[in-house]
Structure 1
Amino acid sequence: MDPASTRPVTEDGTPPPRTGVWQQLRPLVLRLHFYAGVLVAPFLLVATVSGLLYVWTPQVEQVLYADQLRVPASEGSLPLAEQVRIARAEAPDASVHSVRPATTPEDSTWVLMDLAESGNGARTTVFVDPHAGEVLGVSESYGTSGALPVRTWIDLLHRQLHLGEVGRLYSELAASWLGVVALGGLALWVARRRRGRQRSGRARSVSLHATVGAWVLLGLLFLSATGLTWSQYAGSNISDLRERMSWTTPAASTEVPSASPGVDVGPDAVLASAREAGLDGRVTVDLPSDHTSPYVVTQLERSWPTQADSVAVAQDTGEVVDVVRFEDHPLMAKLSRWGVDAHMGLLFGVPNQLVLTAVCGGLLWVIVLGYRMWWQRRPTRGGAWGLGRPYQRGSFLSLSWPLRVAVVLTCAGVGLALPVLGVSLLVFLVVDVLVGRFSEGARRLRSGSG
């Protein structure tokens, strides 16, 4: 007897649907992975290349801005207050916001100033030779990291393609889908390995695509999660969650008024007090905003081990009035700090940069192989330039009702947490339905004309 004749069939003569959870979900995951890969990959490609450029910007800055950042070593240095006075004379229309004293004898001092016309977080930075008292140059710098123009340009390309707030949607779309595509690919890779290897040309492409993706999986999930913290909508949800759970990063209090308003001991005494409190290495000294507020001194070292202590120093006495130690930060605040710094390639220095380079290189290779696999699925009868076929329709309707409900609830929950992913998924579904109806209508017309 033919074994096939003993297999159960439904009333219409077709095999019954498979009952295993993964057997039901696999066609849906495969179709979603295909569409997300084809449509989101261009955004991932831009984010990966620009991110790879950004990783190495610290070294680029040291080369391009060497004349402003480095000075001949010397034993004696001018008082910090004198260096600030020199910077004020260079930009008399600006107000001094903060000072970053030279850390080594070969470093320049940064005096960060606010101009009325400055925008987008930009500050005018005057670089002063702490030994000779000469102005080395003037440049714009951005953010708490003090990014100089080249790094800022690459950073804005990575974040928003120089398109402002609208452009931020691109990076959020890429970060949101990266984790989904990576996890879907992992599930498909595990199932494929269980079925055994195939030998066709496209099967080899699939195998290499999946293997490289599996090797860089953890890195991709990390980049996706940390990248979302900077995003517009998901990032806002993350910030709200951190605030509700008291996971925010504490800061030194600036609410302690001076006992003698108008008396200012100056930045040299303030820096000395901060050093005595244990704030060594690179620091920034934020000047008071009025005649009673304290100075705030914060460590800037983001490599391991992280040095991010901060102190408030009374401007009339030079005494430390508040101390916030990094070791006392909430655990989630520490993890956020480490995650952001590792995402930027700062946490472990050059090894961190090399790992990110390998992950980005792997992702680029996975994207190239993904498009190659799509090309290899093209119908050969339609000409050499035909497009690859998508995977079969009806994968959602073939699920059991409990799985349908689970899929809908999961998508709704993920969509609420990651709004850009949720909206883009709805767009995918609408486009898929419209394409399906158009294709069905075209088939009916051809059959009717035949």
Structure 2
Amino acid sequence: MSSTSAIPHQLAPPLPEPERQPSKRRASGLGALLLRLHFYAGILVAPFLIVAALTGLAYTVTPQLDAIVYGDQLYASQPDAAAKPIAEQIAAARSAHPEGALSSVTPGDGDLATRVVFSLPELGEKQHTVYVEPATAAVKGTVTTWFGSTPVTTFLDDLHRNLQLGDVGRYYSEIAASWLWVLVLGGVALWWRRQRDARNRARRLLLPDLAAKQGVRRTRSWHAATGLWLALGLLGLSATGLTWSRYAGANFSTALDALSAHRPELSTTLDGSQPDATGGHHGGADAATSTAPVDPAAADLVLKVARDNGLDGPVELALPASAGSAWTVTQVDNVWPVRKDGIAVDPGSGAVTARSDFADWPLLAQLSGLGVQAHMGILFGPSNQVLLALVAVGLLLMIFWGYRMWWQRRPTRTDRRATGWTSPVASGAWRRLPTWMIVVGIPVVIALGWFIPLFGIPLAGFLLIDVILGTVRANRIHRRRQAA
């Protein structure tokens, strides 16, 4: 028996701890680039995504908040009773609100009160909406609205879009939307590459590894599996968010113009001249403001013509913008299956002078409209709200797990029990890409950077920092070798 083995175990000198060795597996150029981009973009963009998720989560409950705060105005007290003529309801609203120009009327439908909208120059984009009981023509109240949205909804909408900071605040939401799709697609690609040779690949892709011990491996499995389940929803939010953004949204609108893929304009002229612009904003019609005397009695005739021509459900009647123009009647049912048809009506003869049906819209216009409504949580009713809330909570959890992975793998950690620890990918990983991929990728990235500026500018910054760090690291290694 050796002398060493004779020493009691508790008195035996401890064996020297092996040095932590970096992973011997060298990532491919593409894998290394995806990993580095996903890591640094996630660290830097995640704060924007946290704010977007929290404010978006608050926005999902706006229908319920509106019912609590404005229920007395929004809803009819006698929803099953016969409604008074629209002209009488308009007259009651005008009596209660003598200022401003009559802009539009949305007759009560179901349990909703009639909305009579007045525009005033001092309100800008906002308007005064007078709510009228359809059965009695009694005024229920007046609320300052923004494209039909109540103050509560408008506040939470602005909070989500720009943090109540105006145009400056819109940078945050555009950065979040510009990078969300990159993080999602990059994360999916990384997770797929990691599991592509594993047994039970589908289960490992879709479910977290509950058998893993506490550490990076378990955290990463929760982060990645959750991301895979939420990928489609997050990509949809990113795409629809970009259509509203300041810079990418303007480029998207230009592309729709070039492709003639905008929502068709509904002509309100009665003499065959060019149609008036009736573009939408924030998912709602931008009703014209009347500049000429209009007989409210025409509203009942116009509504009857619309019903006779198949425009059922909730509709909005927009008054003529000038003398000799037609009224427009547009369906405003945003719940699937949506009803978005519209007609123009000559108030004198009751003739339909123009028509625009949702089924005839360009496909991109249809998809854009449906995507916006889904983003706002109104396309599928309450289920849409629940889905958006789940996506928002899931995104917050993914960000938490992402930062937890960073903390578990931090370079300064001395605890060797950090399961799954590997060396970070060295800077300059993009230079290991195949030549053909660089040749194809550079113009694609430049095009994306031009179309989505708040993706392209930070990406250029990432690459510049990456080159600088790589150069500094190479010089440091060179000096050490010279000194050795």
Amino acid at match of 1:126: V
For this pair of structures, how many residues does the alignment match? 422
Amino acid at match of 1:135: V
Matches within 5 A, 1:29-428: 29-73=34-78, 75-104=81-110, 106-119=111-124, 121-143=125-147, 146-194=148-196, 196=198, 199=212, 201-257=215-271, 264=295, 266-380=298-412, 391-428=425-462
Q: 5+ unaligned residues in a row in structure 2: which ranges?
A: 1-24, 199-203, 273-291, 416-421
CA distance in 1, matches of 2:47, 2:341: 41
Offset of 1:448 from its aligned partner? 10
**Larger displacement relative to structure 2 (229-238 or 125-134):** 125-134
Q: Secondary structure at the match of 1:136?
A: strand
Amino acid at match of 1:167: G
Q: 1:257 to 1:79 in 2, by over 3 A?
A: farther
Contact (CA 8 Å) 2:106, 2:116: kept in 1 or not? yes
Offset of 1:148 from its aligned partner? 0.6
Offset of 1:389 from its aligned partner? 8.2
Amino acid at match of 1:430: L
Offset of 1:279 from its aligned partner? 0.9
Contact (CA 8 Å) 1:252, 1:311: kept in 2 or not? yes
Contact (CA 8 Å) 1:34, 1:391: kept in 2 or not? no
Per the normalisation by structure 1, the TM-score is 0.86
Contact (CA 8 Å) 1:251, 1:310: kept in 2 or not? no
CA distance in 1, matches of 2:349, 2:382: 42
CA distance in 1, matches of 2:483, 2:141: 77
Q: 5+ unaligned residues in a row in structure 1: which ranges?
A: 1-16
Offset of 1:38 from its aligned partner? 0.3
Q: CA RMSD in A?
A: 2.8
* Percent identity between the two aligned chains: 44
Q: 1:395 to 1:110 in 2, by over 3 A?
A: same
Offset of 1:444 from its aligned partner? 8.8
Contact (CA 8 Å) 1:374, 1:389: kept in 2 or not? no
Offset of 1:71 from its aligned partner? 2.7
Offset of 1:155 from its aligned partner? 0.7
CA distance in 1, matches of 2:344, 2:432: 63
Q: 1:446 to 1:193 in 2, by over 3 A?
A: same
Contact (CA 8 Å) 2:428, 2:470: kept in 1 or not? no
Offset of 1:433 from its aligned partner? 4.1
CA distance in 1, matches of 2:294, 2:365: 36
Q: 1:185 to 1:127 in 2, by over 3 A?
A: same
Offset of 1:390 from its aligned partner? 5.5
Amino acid at match of 1:315: P
Q: Secondary structure at the match of 2:122?
A: coil
Q: Secondary structure at the match of 1:378?
A: coil
Offset of 1:180 from its aligned partner? 0.6
Per the normalisation by structure 2, the TM-score is 0.80
User: Deviations for 1:129-167, whole angstroms, at most 9, x for unmatched residues?
Assistant: 223332211111112xx1111111111111111111121
CA distance in 2, matches of 1:116, 1:399: 58
CA distance in 2, matches of 1:205, 1:113: 55
